[in-house]
Amino acid sequence: MTYDQFTESLSQETPPKQISVLLQALWYDAKGNWEAAHNIAQSSEGTRAYDHLHAYLHRVEGDTWNAGYWYRRAGAEVFEGSLKEEWETLVLAML
């Protein structure tokens, strides 16, 4: 799946079946369902990719302290760009 195909899938009611669970979380986030995305992030705490997703989601929520904690757990730098830029970066990394 390409980035364009992924973003086009946002017009659908459900995420594409062939995408990873992490991409499903980003799909739900883009659709405004933070809770579904957060549940996925919490489902494999201690896994770097999930912890990085978790950090991003707390940044979306506006909880920068908690986001910082999850960035550290993921071994990732705090993202300095916009939320949109981070979302795009995560999607591209997971495709």
Q: How confident is the model over 18-37, as a mean pLDDT?
A: 98
Dist. CA 61–CA 88, nearest whole Å: 17
pLDDT tens, position by position, 39-85: 999 999 999 999 999 999 999 999 999 999 999 999 999 999 999 99
pLDDT of res. 10: 98
Residues 6+ apart with CB under 8 A from 92: 3
Q: What pTM was computed for the model?
A: 0.95
pLDDT of res. 15: 97
Dist. CA 75–CA 57, nearest whole Å: 16
pLDDT tens, position by position, 23-32: 999 999 999 9
Task: Give the residue carrying structure tokens 């993202």.
Answer: 79
pLDDT of res. 74: 97
